[in-house]
Amino acid sequence: MEIQIHACVLLLVALASSSLMAAQSTNWSTALLIKVDQSGNGDFKKIQDAIDVVPSNNSDNVFILIKPGIYREKVVVDKPYITLSGLTSKTTIITGNAYGDIFGSATVSVLASDFVARSLTMENTHGAGSKAVALRVSADKAAFYGCKIMSYQDTLLDDTGRHYYNNSYIEGATDFICGDAASLFENCHLHSISKGNGAITAQRRESPSEDTGFSFLGCKITGVGSCFLGRPWGPYSRVVFSKTYMSGVVLPQGWDDWGDSSTHSTVYYGENQCYGAGAASSKRVTWSRRLSDAEAKPFLTMDMIGGQDWLKPTPTHFKRPSYIISKTAGGNK
C-alpha cells in the first residue's frame, strides 16, 4: 500500500513539473490562426463557430481574426487563451439586442481566462428601459485594446476577475460600467448618453477584504446630459479616477449614494489630478476623497491587477491549427 501511494505521489509531481515547464516555455509571440469571414473566404462565417472548434482543454495561444462585417450573434468565449481581433473597431462589429437579465443579455460573454479582444465593437442596441449588456466579463485575466463597448444600461458587466482596458471607448447611460472585478482602465473614453442623472460606474465590492475596484488613469469623460461618476452597487464600492479629463457633464457633487447614507463611511471614491469643468472639487460630496499622488499610486499601476504576470504581447507569427487543417482537407468549413 505504501509503495502504491509513493508511486502516485511521484506521478503527480512529475505531471505538475511537466505542466509548469510547458507553461514556462510557451512562446506567446506565435499563435494558432483561425479566420472568420462572412463572405466565406475564411475558416468560418460565424465567430461562435470559430470558438467552438477550439478544444475545451485548450492551452495554445489562439488568434481568431474577424474580417470586417456586422456579426449579429451572441458570442460566448468558454475556452482559455483566445484572442478575438478585428481590423478596426469601426469595421468589425458584434451586435445584439437582448435585454432583461443582466447575465443572459450580453452580446459577448467572456467566461474563460486569458482572453484578449482587439479592435472590435461590441454593442447591445436594445436602448433604454431594461438591463441590456454589450460585454460581460466573468473570468480572470482579460484584456481589451482599441475596442468600442456600447449600450444604454449596464453596458459593461465587469463582473469578476482581473481586467485591463486600454484605449477603448465605453458608452452608456445607467451604471454602464458595473460589477465587482479588479480593473484598470487606461486612456479610455467614457461617454455618457444619460439625459438626466445617470451613473458611469456601479462597482459592487461587498466587503473590505475584497481586492477589487475600478481605476481610471488618463481617461476622458464626455456626454450629452449630466451624470455621476459612480454609485455603490455594493456597500464597499471602490472607484478611483486619476489624471482624467472630466467635461461639464459630470455633476458638481460627483458621486451618488443610491439613497443609502450608510455607505458614506464604507465606500472608497477617490479623485487625483483630474481636470476639466467636471473635476471642480468645491461641491463634491464630503464622503469622496481628494487623493494625493501617494494615496492614488496603489490603484494606478499594473500591480493592482497583477498585469506583469499575464498581459501578453501581440503575436507576430502565426500557424494553422491541426484541427482547422483537417476540417479544410475534408471540405467541412
Determine which one of 43, 140, 158, 175 is catalytic. Answer: 175
What single-letter DSSP state applies at residue 313? Answer: P
- Model-level pTM? 0.91
Confidence of residue 27 (pLDDT cuts 50, 70, 90): confident
CA–CA separation, 128 and 131 (whole Å): 8
175 an active-site residue? yes
Helix (H) or strand (E) holding 75: strand 75-77
**Which amino acid, residue 198?**
G
Q: Which three cell numbers stand for residue 238?
A: 471602490
Q: In 3D, which of 195, 204, 219, 235 has the Cα closest to residue 271?
A: 219
> What's the distance, Cα to Cα, between the start and end of the chain in Å?
52
> Residue with C-alpha cell 436602448?
127
Q: Are strands 268-272 and 238-242 parallel, antiparallel or unpaired?
A: parallel
Backbone torsions φ then ψ of 52, nearest 5 degrees:
-65, -25
The SS3 of residue 51 is helix
257 an active-site residue? no
Averaged pLDDT score across all residues of the chain: 92
Instruction: Read off the pLDDT of each residue in 152-157 and give the average, rounded to a whole number.
Output: 98
Instruction: Read off the pLDDT of each residue in 290-314 and give the average, rounded to a whole number.
Output: 95
Whether the CB-CB separation of 74 and 107 falls below 8 Å is answered with yes
Please give the pLDDT value at position 9.
Answer: 36
Instruction: Read off the pLDDT of each residue in 104-128 and give the average, rounded to a whole number.
Output: 98
Q: Give the helix ranges, DSSP H, for 26-166.
A: 47-52
Determine which one of 43, 114, 140, 154 is catalytic. Answer: 154
Q: Which three cell numbers stand for residue 118?
A: 482587439
CA–CA separation, 16 and 13 (whole Å): 5
CB count in 10 Å sphere of residue 262:
9
CA–CA separation, 200 and 82 (whole Å): 29
Please give the pLDDT value at position 329.
Answer: 54
Whether the CB-CB separation of 211 and 182 falls below 8 Å is answered with yes
Please determine, for residue 11, whether its predicted confidence score (pLDDT) is greater than 70. Answer: no
Helix (H) or strand (E) holding 16: helix 2-25
